[in-house]
């Protein structure tokens, strides 16, 4: 059973400057709700019981957001506003689920993941990249179902325009299992258009095995001098660990870029 989710939040958010110059991107509102709450709601709805946030000293305000009890209590005492009481209850629910670990140097998603090693209890866990919002259908929930059926790792996948492949991890697929799921033969972090084996991109939802920590421990920095989970996944695939690419049916919103962030507010407002 997958009960733990890891969410790396230590990134600098430079693609969203100036909004992120003093404010973490994950707390930016999308249609009146901080982006990270959409991710937490996806977790809760998928049966996740514990979430591990990887933050940095610079982003401690994220912790404060979930630990601001005194502030709420003071206001609620003075004003019995139903909406504020409900919001506070929601924050308390999130707070109970979240543990915090630190990654103070941005050395990549793989390095961030390593910081959680001691807290992981099961053989598999969920990892979600908070820039990637998926609405209309719970992608994590579908992936957990696939994992339960095939007992293997699962990664979310989406077709992207060929000219944009170097922005993503790109899959080379082995064979189809059914309409939405295929076995992965290999995966490359941000390949050039020339070297990309397909236009099927990695989207930020992964069900990963505990074993990945042993790979990450020995991994050398890859693209851009960072430690990438993609490279650790490659090395597991080389050792015959099976990984499934799941092409999800929800709508993908890229909240990590300014254009995408603006668009996501409009899209969510339509629902
Ligand atoms: C990360 C991953 C990449 C994946 C992408 C999805 O890249 O390294 O493989 O395709 O997330 O959003 P980043 O967005 O951190 O550059």
Q: Which CATH number belongs to the domain containing residue 24 in this structure?
A: 3.90.550.10
Task: Work out how many domains the chain is built from and give that number.
Answer: 1
The structure tokens listed for 114 are: 């390593």
Contact 61, 26 (CB under 8 A): no
Name the residue range of residue 136's domain.
4-269
Could you tell me if the CB of 11 is within 6 A of ligand 1? Answer: no
pLDDT in tens, 19-41: 999 999 999 999 999 999 999 99
Question: For residue 51, how far is its CA from the centre of ligand 1 (angstroms)?
Answer: 20
Evaluate the omega torsion of the peptide bond into residue 224 and state whether it is cis, within 30 degrees of 0. Answer: no
Enter the pTM of the model.
0.96
d(CA 62, CA 66): 7
Contacts of 253 (CB under 8 A, 6+ apart): 132, 133, 134, 135, 260, 263, 264, 267, 268
Contact 7, 100 (CB under 8 A): no
Q: pLDDT band at residue 267, thresholds of 50, 70 and 90?
A: very high
Question: For residue 132, how far is its CA from the centre of ligand 1 (angstroms)?
Answer: 9
Q: pLDDT band at residue 79, thresholds of 50, 70 and 90?
A: confident
Residue in the structure block whose two tokens are 């140097």: 105
């Amino acid at each position: 059973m997958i009960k733990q989710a890891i969410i790396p939040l230590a990134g600098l958010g430079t693609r969203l400057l100036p909004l992120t110059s003093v404010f973490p991107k994950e707390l930016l509102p999308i249609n009146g709700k901080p982006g990270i709450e959409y991710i937490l709601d996806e977790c809760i709805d998928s049966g996740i019981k514990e979430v591990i946030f990887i933050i940095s000293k610079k982003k401690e305000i994220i912790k404060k957001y979930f630990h601001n009890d005194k502030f709420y209590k003071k206001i609620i005492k003075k004003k019995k506003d139903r909406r504020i009481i409900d919001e506070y209850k929601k924050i308390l629910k999130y707070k109970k689920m979240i543990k915090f670990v630190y990654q103070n140097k941005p050395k990549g998603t793989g390095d961030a993941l390593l910081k959680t090693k001691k807290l992981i209890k099961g053989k598999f866990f969920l990892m979600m990249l908070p820039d990637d919002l998926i609405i209309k259908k719970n992608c994590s929930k579908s992936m957990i179902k696939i994992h339960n059926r095939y007992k293997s790792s699962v990664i979310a996948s989406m077709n992207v325009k060929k000219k944009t492949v170097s922005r993503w991890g790109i899959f080379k697929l082995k064979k189809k299992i059914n309409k939405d799921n295929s076995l992965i033969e290999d995966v490359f972090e941000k390949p050039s258009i020339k070297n990309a084996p397909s236009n099927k991109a990695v989207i930020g939802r992964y069900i990963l095995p505990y074993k990945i920590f042993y790979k990450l421990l020995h991994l050398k920095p890859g693209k851009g001098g960072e430690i990438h989970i993609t490279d650790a996944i490659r090395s597991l695939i080389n050792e015959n660990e099976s990984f499934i690419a799941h092409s999800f049916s929800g709508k993908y919103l890229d909240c990590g870029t300014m254009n995408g962030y603006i668009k996501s507010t409009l899209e969510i407002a339509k629902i």
